[in-house]
Amino acid sequence: MRRRYVDISSVLLCFFLIDYVSSQLSPAQNSTMSRLYGLVTSNTSSNPNEWTHVEFAQNPCSWSGVSCSVDNTSVIRLKFAKFGLSDVEILSVPCQLDSLESLDFSNNHFGGIPNEFIDVCGKISGLKTLNFSRNRLVQLPVFKGFLGLEFLDFSFNEINGTFGSQLNDLAGLKGLNLGDNKLSGLLPASLENFSQLKELQLGGNEFQGSIPGEIANCRNLTLIDLGGNRLSGLIPERFGELLELESLILSVNNLSGEIPKSLLKITTLSRFSAHQNNFVGEIPVGMTKHLKILDLSFNKLNGSIPVDLLSPSNLETVDLSDNGMVGSIPADISPRLFRLRLGNNYLSGTIPTSFGKLSNLTYLELENNMLTGQIPPELGLCHSLALLNFGYNNLSGTLQEQLGKLTNLQVLYLQFNNLSGIIPDRISELYSLQRLNLSRNAFSGQIPSSISSLKNLTNLYLQGNQLSGAIPDTIGGLSNLIELQLGNNQLGGVIKSLPKSLQIALNLSKNNFEGDIPKVLSTLGLLEVLDLSNNKFSGKIPEFLVNLGTLTHLLLSNNQLSGVIPMFGTHVTVDTNGNKGLIRSTTPSLPVSKGKRKVSAGVVIATAASVLVVAIIVFVALYIFRKYYRVNNVHSSLGEDIPQPQVVQRKLLTENGIHRSNIEFNSAMNAVANPSNIMVKTRFSTYYKAVMPSGKKYFVKKLNWSDKIFQMGSHEKFGEELKVLGKLNNSNVMSPLAYVLATDNAYLFYEFAENGTLFDFLYNNSDNELEWSSRYSIALGVAQGLAFLHGYTSGPILLLDLSSKSIMLKSSKEPQLGDIELFKVIDPAKSTGSLSTIAGSVGYIPPEYAYTMRVTMAANVYSFGVILLELLSGKPAVSQGMELAKWALSKSSQQDKLDQILDFRLSRTSPAIKSQMLSILKVALTCVSVSPDARPKMKSVLRMLLTAR
């Protein structure tokens, strides 16, 4: 680094003359810019930034990030955002430009601010803005000078300690952002010194104690964000004096008391968020008079909803879910209303018909109240509706006009009501529907065959009704359906067709099905849970059920089945109780020849022994096959020769000489043409083993261009993205070593992971149970990798499909995160298609995804929490149709049941291990918090894991 700087500065002299020609800057400013150029370009040699492309000879005013005065005679603003800088020597150089007004060092790697910076920069009285957001600062410096400073941004660092008098000199401050650090202790009362302050952002720290009322002395405040701390006590009455306040954010603290009426005096307030605290009492009348957004969810508020609460015409979002509200829902509703959440209260009465006018209403959640009457038909006019949740109420009547033409509706939850009548044919008009829950009502008649028009449907719950007749043959056309619950109805007849996509569960229990177990079940190659119990199925248990490779639970109890029970793998739980004619076999069932011949005892024993040996060999072979070659049986058994892909472009990304000399593209392309090299299949990709001529093995991962997810990615763009990812250097992240782009596929090369996926290691590996120390290192490694990706300098890298199937094990202690390339290529914000099909695997998708349709850092933290729970409990993310996260959360409400979540095989080994597992369980449970805001950042997760020893 140093050497390169020297080289460059010697070159500088040659440019000096040219400099004068093109620059109108003073010689002093020119030479400062030259010095900066040298420092900046040499500091970032490993990670090229904007200035590596700058032509030094040009006028510095034209360099990227540099802004000059109108006449180009002085530098006014410098912006080094995302320059990859870490050398603190750079920091004070810009301050030799006495004309400087704004200095932006955000998104770099600075670990500290030297005293020299404070001395030199403090003298520029014209400096108004200083931005160190998203660096690695650990300490808040004591500011001296900086008389003109107006905006100070130190957010997203790791600043710890208390916040006292460090900024007292900055009397002219208008905007202070210290959000998302690790500041602790009390909030300083001395904030009142900042009489000009407009924006105060201290959210996402560890502040405790009460909120000082003196903050209200800063009369000009427009924004106060104290969310995500550990504050307690009341909201100061005096906040009502802040007559210019626009946003007040106090969410996720431990505040209590009532919502002060004084806030109503603030006519400018448009956002008030105070969810997840301990507020009590009634919501003041007039609360929303001026508001756009009100969020008071997850508190202990009670009383009825004031009649005027929903009516003000500016109002867009109201969230009062999870409180103790009683009474009815006011009928006077703002036409602008976009989101209304009143779930988990004690509301009664009917749903007002006035909802019908609301053309902006997109999310309506009234679940788990005591609402009665019918669903107003007028709701069918709310054509923006994407989510409607009326589950767990006491609604009655039928569904007809109510459905209207809600073509944007994605989620419809009506379960646990008293709705009756038929399921109307019109349901087919809800084209966007992804989840439909009509379970536990009194619907009767047949399942309409038009239901097959719902091409986006992924989950269909009709259990617990009085549906009769046969399952329509068209149902096989629901090509995205992953769960079908039809239990507890009066269905019967012949089942001819079922969606091959079914994965989580198919439940036909408690119906009137009879005759042989239908052959069509053999097509469900992804299914995990099959429940046929409590019907009148008869005949033998067919062998094809044994071949459903992904099955974990098979429930056949209380039928009329007969014959010998076939031998299922050890990973399948089979329940056959209550079938009188079934015979349990100790040895595997073989086709027995009909004509019984007399044979000597010796022959019988010999045959039995050899059968046993063959069976063991077959079993072991199958087992190994399952473990390493998790193949879609249909494809591999065809064994057809797939032609070599048509290569468009190929490139080595790694600088590592060993890989560069080993990777041989042609042998890799031969390897992917042979299905027997398939090692792992995940939702988005297939991993092949490719043995190079040198004998070294690599993973070659195939991504399909034809997949929806690549629609917006061109070959060039993809290549660019991969180059960036190839530079990621973290031992817990699988970064691509090379790639081949073919006409309709992309192939990425990775280091080979001998131990396969974490999923296989945990659940398909009975002979090698993963001990706790391994599981702990895996948890740490995955957390490290994810924290690295989330903190990546040029913006966080989010994973679309984080699951135990996307984690590869180099050894039983070294995990690597796979499938990292997907998010960067796909921008979900731009995608129009149904996102739920691409955003992760079932069991790892956070609850808010249904509403937000966005993958976020908090969503990744949730998926990570599920992986932690898998490591702790030894249970897969979904079993018996139940998501592990939900199961663990329900257990965790009782402290004495916590250890029931843990994998007993490990927790019993020692009290020390059990206690460590329990502390990590706490981390896992916060990661899977229902509210995304309540989930910690990966950085803190990692810290918590490290300290949980």
Residues that bind ligand NAG (CB under 6 A): 59, 61-62, 71-72, 81, 104, 106-107, 129, 131, 133, 151, 153, 175, 230, 232, 254, 256, 278, 372, 394, 396, 413, 415-416, 418, 435, 437, 439-440, 459, 461, 464
- Residue with smaller CB distance to ligand NAG, 152 or 778: 152
Give dist(CA 85, CA 106) in Å, integer.
10
Distance CA 833, CA 455 (A): 12
Nearer to ligand NAG, 101 or 760 (CB): 101
Smallest gap from residue 604 Cβ to ligand NAG (A): 51
Catalytic annotation on 744? Answer: no
Report the residue number, 56 or 416, with the smaller CB distance to ligand NAG.
416
Closest residue to ligand NAG, Cβ-based?
Answer: 62
Q: Which is nearer to ligand NAG, 270 or 276 (CB)?
A: 276
Buried b (16+ CB within 10 A) or exposed e, 397-431: bebeebbbebebbbbbbbbbbebeebbbebbbbbe
Nearer to ligand NAG, 280 or 564 (CB): 280
Instruction: Give the Cα separation of 697 and 699 in Å (integer).
Output: 7
Q: Which lies closer to ligand NAG via its Cβ, residue 256 or residue 573?
A: 256
Nearer to ligand NAG, 191 or 807 (CB): 191
- What is d(CA 943, CA 949) in angstroms, rounded to the nearest whole number? 11
DSSP string for residues in 531-599: E--SSEEEE---GGGTT-TT--EEE--SSEEEEEPPPPPTT-EEE-TT-TEEE--SSPP----SS----
Q: What CA–CA distance (Å, rounded) separates 379 from 401?
A: 9
Q: Which is nearer to ligand NAG, 198 or 775 (CB)?
A: 198
Smallest distance, Å, CB 156 to ligand NAG? 8
Paired tokens of 928: 């899977």
* Of 891, 949, 948, residue with least CA distance to 925: 891
Kindly state the smallest distance separating residue 447's Cβ from ligand NAG, in Å: 16
CB of 676 to ligand NAG, least distance (A): 39
Q: Which residue in 760, 801, 903, 933 is the catalytic one?
A: 801
Least separation, in Å, of the C-beta of 443 and ligand NAG?
A: 12
Q: Are strands 514-515 and 573-575 parallel, antiparallel or unpaired?
A: unpaired
**DSSP code for 733:** B
CA–CA separation, 803 vs 863, rounded Å?
Answer: 7
Are 662 and 692 in contact by the 8 Å Cβ rule? The answer is yes
Burial class (CB in 10 A: 0-12, 13-18, 19+), 594: exposed
Coil, strand, or helix at residue 234? coil
Return the number of the residue (62 or 165) whose C-beta is nearest ligand NAG: 62
- Which residues make Cβ contacts (< 8 Å) with residue 864, sequence separation at least 6? 782, 783, 786, 802, 927, 938, 941
CB of 25 to ligand NAG, least distance (A): 10
Q: Which of 658, 791, 785, 797 is nearest to 725 (CA)?
A: 797
The rounded distance, in Å, linking the Cα atoms of 267 and 243 is 7
The residues, ordered by sequence, that sit 6+ positions from 125 with a Cβ below 8 Å of its Cβ are 147, 148
Cα–Cα distance between 461 and 526 in angstroms, integer?
19
Among residues 732 and 836, whose Cβ is nearest to ligand NAG? 836
- Could you tell me the two tokens for 624? 């190994």
Nearest-angstrom CA–CA distance, 625 and 527:
18
| Minimum distance of ligand NAG from residue 488's CB (angstroms) | 9
Least distance CB 42 / ligand NAG (angstroms): 23
Residue 172 Cβ, how far from ligand NAG at the closest point, in Å? Answer: 14
DSSP letter, residue 336: T
Smallest distance from ligand NAG to CB 257, Å = 9
Q: Tell me which residue has tokens 């919501």.
A: 283
CB of 536 closer than 8 Å to CB of 512: yes
**Least distance in angstroms from the C-beta of 372 to ligand NAG:** 5
Question: Are 567 and 547 spatial neighbours (Cβ–Cβ below 8 Å)?
Answer: no
- Of 378, 343, 394, 333, which is closest to residue 364 (Cα–Cα)? 343
Question: How far, in Å, CA of 784 to CA of 590, rounded?
Answer: 51
CB closer to ligand NAG, 107 vs 745 = 107
DSSP-derived secondary structure letter, 19: H
- Residues with active-site annotation: 801
